[in-house]
Structure 1
Amino acid sequence: MLLLLIFGIVLLPKASTLKCFQCPPGPSGSCVNTENECPSNDFQCGALRVSTFAGASKVSDITVKMCAMAEECVEGSLNFGVSRTVITSKCCTSELCNSQPAPEPMKSTPNGKKCFRCDGQTCSGTLNCEGNEDHCISSTVDLGGKKTTMKGCASKVMCSDSQTVQLPGGIGVGLSCCQGNYCNSAISTRAGLLLLVAPLVTWVMFS
């Protein structure tokens, strides 16, 4: 009886973990679901979508399904003016509940906040923030060994040190965030780290 109890205690955490669909990053609708058991009961089933827009045109749409931590179930956007990347997600806590992809991003409108944006060699242009973009940002992007400054708007979640999204083709971005109109002229606040996303951002901006 004691031996059965010990086996029960050892096996209980594994038995309580969720089984979720897993689908590696790929163009929307092109991935094939496989079943995957989450490593612990701290995980939920999640679906993530990363959409990148140039103006009104969508230039990239990447979907992922996975076992996700609560902090990975986020909604937010990163807006550099010439390109805007939007993250949507849908998480759930029942067996194989992430069969559907994350929702398409909703159409957003200017929210009244204004930040500086970069245009060529200068960073004095005005960008009207959209949706829930409530921070101004300044970033340094490493493109093939050349550091390029980019400025714009971002949602609060994008400024979190713990927020990390890793996708193939992503670029490393060091972000500094602040609140207040045009506060990103020169930012000395601590930098967050966002491994983002947008494999076509560089193509849109620098091709």
Structure 2
Amino acid sequence: MHLIVTILMSVLLPKAYSLKCFECTPGQSGACTDKQIDCRNPAQCGNARITTYMGDTKLLDVNAKSCAVPTECFSAAVNFGISRTTIASKCCNTDLCNSQSVPESTKPTPNGKKCFTCTGTDCTSALSCLGDEDRCISTSVNTGGKKMTMKGCASKRICVGEVSGALGPAMGVDMKCCEGNLCNNAQSIGLSLLLLVTSMVSVALFH
């Protein structure tokens, strides 16, 4: 978990050393302590929050703070049906302005787009995408010598840019996104529920 958070923070909140900001990078327990750091221009102060849900149950809730650049402060989500992860990072530009954590987002409404998702070994079900999830996604992860595939909906920022670029090289994740309804095809994939959830959490946070 510490490796996952470290990778994510290096993407969303890159350090730059003078604006004073709080820094807080969660360890394995998920907890951290604020400390003050100096950030060089054009850096701003940043907050990031990553939350993963399985149905209505919260599986993971991680908050972090550091220096940031404006282009890396955004909101995005990846939704595999059985679980959904939201990523929210915000910037501000006054000394120590990132003292408060990013508020937890509310569940958005369906946006009309549909993508294939997997239920057990069947990947032929249609999933209604939510909020700004405007892409269909298929991901493959090698875990314990086994290749697992997940399908669902994702925001554009999951599929392009720094977040997507950090996933593959760091964790061996193969992600493919497309823009049409049900464009992530309906291949049937065999994988266990436990492995699906584990991989989904990893993918969402690697990102």
Q: Give the letter aligned to residue 110 of structure 2.
A: P
Aligned to 1:59: 59
Once residues 34 and 143 of structure 2 are traced to their aligned partners in structure 1, the CA distance between those partners, rounded to angstroms, is: 33
Q: Is the 8 A contact 1:73 1:89 kept in 2?
A: yes
Aligned to 1:122: 122
Q: Could you tell me which runs of 5 or more consecutive residues in structure 2 were left unpaired when the two chains were aligned.
A: 1-16, 187-195, 202-207
Q: Give the letter aligned to residue 57 of structure 1.
A: T
Per chain length, whose mean CA-contact separation is higher, i.e. which structure has more relative contact order (CA < 8 Å, sep 6+)?
Answer: 2
Once residues 71 and 173 of structure 1 are traced to their aligned partners in structure 2, the CA distance between those partners, rounded to angstroms, is: 24
Aligned to 1:196: none
Pick closer, same or farther for the CA change 1:109–1:28 going to 2, 3 Å. Answer: farther
Q: What is the percentage of aligned positions where both structures have the same residue?
A: 51
Q: Is residue 179 from structure 1 mapped to residue 175 from structure 2 by the alignment?
A: no
Shift of 1:121: 2.6
- Normalising to structure 2: TM-score of the pair? 0.75
Q: Is the 8 A contact 1:26 1:63 kept in 2?
A: no
Aligned to 2:42: 42
Q: Is the 8 A contact 2:115 2:183 kept in 1?
A: yes
Q: Which has the higher helix share?
A: 2
Once residues 165 and 84 of structure 1 are traced to their aligned partners in structure 2, the CA distance between those partners, rounded to angstroms, is: 20
Shift of 1:204: 7.8
- Normalising to structure 1: TM-score of the pair? 0.75
Q: Could you tell me which runs of 5 or more consecutive residues in structure 1 were left unpaired when the two chains were aligned.
A: 1-15, 187-199
Stretch moving more, 79-88 or 101-110? 101-110
* Bigger radius of gyration: 1
Shift of 1:19: 1.6
- Offset from partner CA, 1:99-132 (integer Å, 9 cap, x none): 0001211221111110001223332111111111
Aligned to 1:25: 26
Q: Is the 8 A contact 1:109 1:130 kept in 2?
A: yes
Aligned to 1:69: 69
* RMSD across aligned positions (CA): 2.9
Q: Which has the higher strand share?
A: 1
Aligned to 2:190: none
